[in-house]
Structures are given as structure tokens and as C-alpha cells.
């Protein structure tokens, strides 16, 4: 698995959003992109995370930051998540986890006791 390092350019991508429209990194030239990955829509932890971003959107907008959430969920599930939780940012479907692989965030979950 490749790991993206600080300061490295983000890998180019094109994914479908919650409406089935293609979204690419090039669509956001001149903007800051907060690109976050989450395991599965409408699960407790992912919901809290998405709601937190929803609730701070005005502040992010003021800093010219665009939020893009990415999961392996199908497009249809993303639309349901947005509707259910009143999300005000774009969700992207990476069903084959190809983009997650490019960013170095796809892999087997490890539970390490502390």
C-alpha cells in the first residue's frame, strides 16, 4: 500500500458523486480540498464525523475549503446518507477502493491493544 506524505500532490481521481455525476480533482483548481475517507455511510462513527463537517461548513467555506467524503458505498447509499443527515457537501463512491488505494488508506483493519 502506498502512503501519501505531507506536501505530496494528491493523486488525480474521478469518482461518481451522490447524484451519479463525475467529480474529478481538476474540478477544484484554486481551492483547498478536504478529502476524507470513511468506511461506511450511516454507521455511528461515520455519521458523527459527517455531521461535524456539516456543522462547520460555513467556517470551511470562509477559508475556501471544499469537503469531499469518500467511501466504498454505492452511489444510491450516498444519496440516502446525505438526505437522512442533511449533509451539505459532496460524497463520492469508490466501490472498488481504487482511489483509497492511491491515497494509501485502504487495507485490512488492525486492532492493536495499547
Residue 35: CB partners within 8 Å, gap ≥ 6? 10, 68, 70, 103
User: In degrees, to the nearest 5, what angle opens at C-alpha 101 toward C-alphas 107 and 110?
Assistant: 15
Provide the β-strand partners of residue 33.
Answer: 66
Quick one: CA dihedral 71, 18, 44, 37, positive or negative? positive
Active site positions, annotated: 46
Ramachandran class of 86: left when φ > 0, alpha when ψ lies in -120 to 50, beta otherwise: left
Amino acid at each position: 500500500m502506498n502512503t501519501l506524505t505531507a506536501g505530496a500532490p494528491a493523486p488525480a481521481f474521478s469518482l461518481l458523486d451522490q447524484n451519479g455525476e463525475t467529480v474529478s480533482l481538476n474540478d477544484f483548481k484554486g481551492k483547498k480540498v478536504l478529502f476524507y475517507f470513511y468506511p461506511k455511510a450511516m454507521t455511528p462513527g461515520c455519521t458523527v464525523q459527517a455531521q461535524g463537517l456539516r456543522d462547520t461548513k460555513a467556517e470551511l467555506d470562509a477559508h475556501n475549503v471544499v469537503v469531499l467524503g469518500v467511501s466504498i458505498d454505492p452511489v444510491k447509499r450516498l444519496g440516502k446518507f446525505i438526505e437522512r443527515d442533511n449533509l451539505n457537501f459532496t460524497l463520492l463512491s469508490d466501490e472498488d477502493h481504487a482511489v483509497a488505494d492511491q491515497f494509501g488508506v485502504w487495507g485490512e483493519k488492525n486492532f492493536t491493544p495499547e
